Amino acid sequence: MNRESVARENAIAELARGTDGAHRDFELAREEIAIMNIGLEFQEIWNDADMIEVRVSAWNGTFGGATRVYVGSGRLDEAAATLHGFPDNPSDSRELKFAGVGVGGAPGGIGLRFYCIGGAAHAWLEARIESVCDLAAPPQSVVLSLPIEPAAVDLFVDQLHSVGASGFGIARLNGVVRL
pLDDT tens for residues 18-38?
555 555 555 655 555 555 589
49-85 pLDDT, tens digit per residue, is 898 999 999 999 889 999 989 889 899 999 999 999 9
pTM beyond cutoff 0.85: no
* Rounded-to-integer distance, Cα 112 and Cα 121, Å: 18
Backbone φ and ψ for 60, nearest 5 degrees, come out as -110, 10
Q: Alpha helix locations (H) across the chain?
A: 3-36, 75-83, 150-166
Please name which of 146, 72, 55, 61 lies closest in space to residue 108, comparing C-alpha atoms: 55
Q: Does domain 38-174 have CATH number 3.40.50?
A: no
Please name which of 38, 65, 63, 41 lies closest in space to residue 54, comparing C-alpha atoms: 41
